[in-house]
Amino acid sequence: MPNAQSTKHNEPAKKRNYRPLVSTKALQKTMGRYYAITNYHRYWGKPLRRPLAWVTSGAPVELLRAFKIHSAYPEQYAAIYSARQATVSLCEVAETAGYSQDLCSYARSNIGGVLRPDLAPLGGMPKPDLLVACNNICGTVLKWYEVLARHFNVPLLVLDTPFLTGELTPQAKEYVLEQLNAMAVDLEKITGRKLNQQSLAEQMRRSAEITSLWKETRQYCQASPSPLNAPDLFIHMAPIVVLRGSQEGINYYRKLEAEVKERVKLGQGAVNNERIRLVWDNIAIWPQLFSFYKLFAEKGACFVTDTYSGGWAADHAPGTPMESLAATYTEVFLNRSPEYRANQLINLIRDYKANGFVMHSNRSCKPYSLVQEVIRRKVMRETGVPGLMIEADMADPRAYAEEPVRNRVQAFLETFDDLT
Amino acid sequence: MQTYFVGVDIGSLTVKVVLINNHLEIIGQMKTRAGYSGRDVANRLKEQLLIESGLKEQDVCATVATGYGRVTFPADREVSEITCQAKGIHHLFPTARTVIDIGGQDSKVIKLLSNGKVADFAMNDKCAAGTGRFLEVMASALEVEWQEIGEIVSSSKNPTQISSFCTVFAESEVISQVSAGTPKSDILAGVCDSVASRVASMTRKTGIEPDIVFTGGVAHNQGVVNALAKQLGYPLLVSREPVITAALGAALLAHEMNKV
């Protein structure tokens, strides 16, 4: 999800194996505007009484938007740091300060950027007025945000979403709903504004609209050849993360959807001569975004869909805005059982007519990665398609060993070639 | 008319070259240390092999390269070791369903279908434990030639426990065992058990299905063969020349390529 501009210098100058999207220009404009607004928050935030919150990617931002809070995402900035090759120096700052190398690289590079903003792309993140963490994506965010709360001496609001071993129970939903109501009271105190139910409902409506645009755009990739490849999905997911519930976001995804629809109509594939269709599981390998996926594209293998950027395409749960928030944010896939996640992959493989899948065992992201081997075996058994496991890290290039990765990818792709 | 095919395997420690004819018979084979330039060594080996077999370069219809140096070698095609290993082993042992390959710097497990196709594979990652390099480091710390390991281990009465997964830390464990006066045979038996346990858990990951073939340079080491067979609970099949099976697979692929 880094700004497309940021990855430009990584692109190979020679013949491309895949087709660039015209919408990338609009993406750069939309995201450029968001970063400018965010980075200059100190000039407009106070006069307009609009605090800046640092939030986790799974935080209920619709509620924050209803309070006119501007949100910035440490995880998203960390992905940009990585695509701009700054992660190692930022992680080293955090490691020198005593943070373990086993800690999530988003957390380490974010903390590194807080301690040494001069080393961080975009000058690091603007200072927050409050922090909002939801543990639906992982447990690390709790301690990470506590560190930030101590450092900046600002309020930290936590939303605790119980892990779902099966379906969401009424008790769990009630538990999250109560916390959301309490959060609204806290936000009223922090912002000095009353919760406007109508404004919240409007945020939810826009959020649902942007989600369905992203979902429909993704579904076009069921076509053969697929109009998009994984790097496209990873780059063009930026607005759904940071501009969920905004009109700019909706405008952008209307453009993208139109282009993708047109590609399908013309039979244009993202990858030249698509012959192998794959599903991706886990966060992107940001520091190798182009070189890694090129190993596949040059052999005619296209990642037609993925579980990661698909996390932002989940339908909103029914009910009042608060009930919908409670259920939607508790039911995110990372907060669910290995069975649920295996079925999710199985369905993607069937719906997108995939020939195989690739899992990124992501050193940083424990909840995403720890259960992958169990899921891999179940999916292979039930679908009959092969699944490859790659060991790497979403942001820290020190965990990426190029030769072993190339070796595995080649061996995996050879299994589709009938060599043996 | 007789035609010939060459398979070249440029590994991290050794280079292997195999020459076969169109009846898939092995005409000749050679191996030596890879040294600094695996490609040059491979070229030399290939030339030498052709001379010894009374053949010329133009008698060779196709060459396939595999191993870490495969990209640099001027072959008709480069193929990963996993595919080549599967090909070579299926040719030698048609009943093989699981292949365990322990080479110089990596260890891998390949699961085969009955037609020899690769169904799944697992490899070690970013760590030399459970590889030939690990055994070499330990053998050098104990001042024994790695070829002697099997024999020395056979006299072990009470194998030591080498608990560390890391080659460097395991080496210091070995050194402290030496200073504690533990017999060499017991320490080496512990080293073999450590490699076997690492590789056995990787094998369990892809699923153990007999027949199991053990190949790669470490399959020469009877200490590891016995330890691994014991841990997996199955006998292991080992070819007479376990080092060259991937190069043989490459030569077989060169032959197949030519058929098309």
A380 touches chain B (CB under 8 A): yes
Please report residues of A whose CB lies closer than 8 A to that of B115: 420
Alpha helices by DSSP H, A13-169:
24-39, 41-44, 61-66, 74-83, 87-96, 105-115, 140-152
**What is the reported pLDDT for A6?**
42
Beta strands per DSSP E along B116-249: 118-123, 212-215, 236-237
Residue B252 CA from chain centroid, whole number: 17
Looking at the structure, do residues B4 and B121 belong to the same domain, yes or no?
no
- A236-245 per-residue burial string, b: 16 or more CB within 10 A, e: under 16: bbbbbbbbbb
Name the more confident of B151 and A223: A223
Looking at the structure, do residues B169 and B140 belong to the same domain, yes or no?
yes
What's B150's domain CATH number? 3.30.420.40
Mean of pLDDT values over A12-32: 83
Closest chain B residue to the Cα of A409, Cα to Cα: B80
**What is the reported pLDDT for A16?**
67
Looking at the structure, do residues B210 and B105 belong to the same domain, yes or no?
yes
Find residues 229-258 of chain B whose CB sits inside 8 Å of chain A. 253, 256
Residue A293 CA from chain centroid, whole number: 17
**What is the reported pLDDT for B164?**
67
* Partner-chain residue, chosen from A401, A408, A420, that has the shortest CB–CB distance to B87: A420
**What is the reported pLDDT for A296?**
97
d(CA A295, CA A17): 10
- Give the pLDDT confidence of B203-247 residue by residue, as tens digits: 998 889 999 999 999 999 999 999 999 999 999 999 999 999 999
d(CA A287, CA B172): 35
Given a cut of 70, whether residue A4 has pLDDT beyond it is: no
CB A135 within 8 A of CB A160: yes
Beta strands per DSSP E along B41-198: 60-66, 77-78, 98-102, 107-112, 118-123
Question: Are B125 and A404 inside 8 Å of each other by CB?
Answer: yes
Please report residues of B whose CB lies closer than 8 A to that of A418: 117
Nearest alpha carbon to residue A141 among A127, A126, A160, A154? A160
Beta strands per DSSP E along chain B: 4-10, 14-21, 26-33, 60-66, 77-78, 98-102, 107-112, 118-123, 212-215, 236-237
A298 touches chain B (CB under 8 A): no
Looking at the structure, do residues B86 and B200 belong to the same domain, yes or no?
no
Looking at the structure, do residues B214 and B133 belong to the same domain, yes or no?
yes
Percent of chain A scoring above 70 in pLDDT:
95
* Partner-chain residue, chosen from A373, A410, A418, that has the shortest CB–CB distance to B80: A410
Name the more confident of A18 and A228: A228
**What is the reported pLDDT for B167?**
81
State how far residue A410 is from chain B, nearest Cα, in angstroms: 6
Distances (CA, A) of A417 to B9, B82, B226, B246, B257: 20, 13, 36, 18, 12
d(CA A142, CA A332): 17
Residue with tokens 């903003």: A117
Q: What is the mean pLDDT of chain B?
A: 92
Pairing verdict, β B107-112 and B98-102: antiparallel
Mean of pLDDT values over A335-363: 97
Question: Are A415 and B80 inside 8 Å of each other by CB?
Answer: no
**Number of CB pairs < 8 Å for A and B?**
52
Looking at the structure, do residues B165 and B216 belong to the same domain, yes or no?
yes
d(CA A146, CA A154): 10
Nearest alpha carbon to residue B19 among B40, B9, B5, B1? B5
* Residue A269 pLDDT level (bands cut at 50, 70, 90): very high
A410 touches chain B (CB under 8 A): yes
Nearest alpha carbon to residue B138 among B169, B164, B174? B174
Question: Are A404 and B119 inside 8 Å of each other by CB?
Answer: no
A370 touches chain B (CB under 8 A): no
Question: Are A404 and B253 inside 8 Å of each other by CB?
Answer: no
Please report residues of A whose CB lies closer than 8 A to that of B121: 408, 411
Closest chain B residue to the Cα of A384, Cα to Cα: B119
**What is the reported pLDDT for A5?**
43
Given a cut of 70, whether residue A205 has pLDDT beyond it is: yes
B134 touches chain A (CB under 8 A): no
Structural domain including B35 reads 1-93+241-260
**B124: amino acid identity, one letter:** N
Which of B64, B76, B83, B126 to mutate: most A Cβ within 10 Å? B83
Given a cut of 50, whether residue A10 has pLDDT beyond it is: no
Q: Which of these ranges, A376-390, B135-149, B182-196, has the smallest mean pLDDT?
A: B135-149
Closest chain A residue to the Cα of B67, Cα to Cα: A407
Please report residues of A whose CB lies closer than 8 A to that of B126: 391, 399, 401, 404
d(CA B229, CA A178): 58
ipTM of the complex: 0.87
Looking at the structure, do residues B19 and B98 belong to the same domain, yes or no?
no
B204 touches chain A (CB under 8 A): no
- Environment class of B152 (CB within 10 Å of its CB; exposed 0-12, middle 13-18, buried 19+): buried
A16 touches chain B (CB under 8 A): no
CB A106 within 8 A of CB A69: no
Looking at the structure, do residues B230 and B250 belong to the same domain, yes or no?
no
* Partner-chain residue, chosen from A380, A403, A407, that has the shortest CB–CB distance to B120: A380
Given a cut of 90, whether residue A286 has pLDDT beyond it is: yes
A273 touches chain B (CB under 8 A): no
Question: Are A386 and B79 inside 8 Å of each other by CB?
Answer: no
A199 touches chain B (CB under 8 A): no
* Residue B103 pLDDT level (bands cut at 50, 70, 90): confident
d(CA B9, CA B169): 31
Which secondary structure element, helix H or strand E, spans residue A360, and what is its range?
A: strand A356-362
Tokens linked to A32: 């450029």
Please report residues of A whose CB lies closer than 8 A to that of B82: 407, 411, 414
Please report residues of B whose CB lies closer than 8 A to that of A401: 125-126
- Environment class of B256 (CB within 10 Å of its CB; exposed 0-12, middle 13-18, buried 19+): middle
Given a cut of 70, whether residue A68 has pLDDT beyond it is: yes
Please report residues of B whose CB lies closer than 8 A to that of A391: 125-126
| Residues present in chain A in total | 420
For CA atoms A285, A286, A287, A292, give the dihedral sign.
positive
CB A412 within 8 A of CB A404: no
* Partner-chain residue, chosen from B80, B120, B122, that has the shortest CB–CB distance to A414: B80
**A361: amino acid identity, one letter:** S
A384 touches chain B (CB under 8 A): no
State how far residue B83 is from chain A, nearest Cα, in angstroms: 6
Residue with tokens 């008319």: B1
How many folded domains does chain B comprise?
A: 2
State how far residue A378 is from chain B, nearest Cα, in angstroms: 12
Please report residues of A whose CB lies closer than 8 A to that of B68: 403, 407
